[in-house]
């Protein structure tokens, strides 16, 4: 096997949550290009069906499963359906996340409902996903769990506190999961993107697509440009592939040097 061969995902079946748009869509397409079959999960059926069709156009099998990641029964059903209908489950990407009203607030202004929502979506759903996937993977020789975190986890995040707190929890959860699941042949890592102009990002910051060319300078990014969803996909391919077979409990930060 050559070095490049080690980055192939042939024979793998990957679930990508929040896979209907943005970073999740890019991850799903990138993994399919590397050879994996893909299960795309999110709440918006039309979007995940469109991504699944793009995966099929690449010659890979794909399935779209409408799922609310904050409902543990639906998360477990997603993992079981993937295993049954696709013949296995070797990689689980927890990408679903964000906020519901996308309004910047300080902690003093934060309603309990918004705190609970963000912790449930951005942290609890990562645990339920890892549990559902891990219980299947441990019976089938192992696999790779990839949790999409954020550089916000490692610094103060004014007006976006619950999200940053949740992502910090994701990083710690990932390290613990990696320690517990390592003996089962399951690797668990995180990818932490810097600023990516997704729909949620643009709404939260009040920016628009016309601002994208100047964002690199505005955010002081050393490499001179804002990130794009396609910048995140290669790291996920690596973490799912044999090339990272001795890597677990780690975080890959991708932020242009910010």
Contacts of 193 (CB under 8 A, 6+ apart): 23, 148, 150, 151, 227, 231, 232, 254, 255
Structure tokens at 255: 């932020």
Task: Please confirm, yes or no, whether 163 is among the known catalytic residues.
Answer: yes
Which entry of 127, 163, 204, 238 is annotated as an active-site residue? 163
Q: What is the dihedral of CA 44, 113, 153, 99, to 10 degrees?
A: 30
First to last CA, the chain: 36
Structure tokens at 251: 């975080």
Ramachandran sector of residue 155 (left: φ over 0; alpha: ψ -120 to 50; beta: rest): beta
**Buried (b) or exposed (e) across 162-188, using 16+ Cβ within 10 A?**
bbbbbbbbbbebbbebbeebeeeebbb
**Active centre residues (catalytic):** 163
């Amino acid at each position: 096997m050559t070095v490049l061969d080690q980055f192939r995902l042939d024979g793998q079946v990957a679930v990508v949550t929040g896979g209907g748009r943005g970073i999740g869509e890019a991850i799903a397409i990138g993994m399919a290009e590397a050879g994996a079959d893909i299960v795309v999960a999110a709440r918006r059926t039309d979007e995940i069906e469109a991504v699944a069709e793009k995966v099929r156009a690449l010659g890979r099998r794909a399935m779209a499963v409408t799922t609310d990641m904050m409902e543990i029964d639906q998360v477990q059903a997603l993992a079981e359906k993937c295993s049954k209908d696709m013949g296995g489950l070797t990689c689980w990407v927890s990408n679903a996340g964000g906020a519901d009203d996308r309004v910047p607030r300080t902690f003093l202004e934060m309603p309990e409902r918004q705190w609970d929502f963000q912790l449930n979506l951005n942290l609890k759903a990562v645990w339920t996903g890892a549990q559902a996937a891990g219980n299947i993977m441990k019976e089938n020789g192992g696999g790779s769990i990839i949790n999409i975190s954020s550089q916000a986890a490692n610094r103060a995040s004014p007006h976006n506190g619950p999200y940053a707190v949740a992502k910090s929890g994701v990083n710690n959860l990932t390290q613990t999961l990696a320690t517990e699941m390592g003996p089962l042949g399951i690797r668990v890592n995180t990818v932490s993107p810097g600023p990516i102009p997704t729909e949620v990002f643009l709404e939260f910051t009040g920016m628009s697509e016309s601002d994208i060319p100047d964002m690199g300078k505005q955010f002081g990014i050393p490499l001179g440009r804002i990130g794009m969803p396609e910048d995140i996909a290669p790291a996920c391919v690596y973490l799912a592939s044999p090339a990272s077979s001795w890597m677990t409990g780690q975080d890959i930060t991708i932020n242009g040097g910010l």
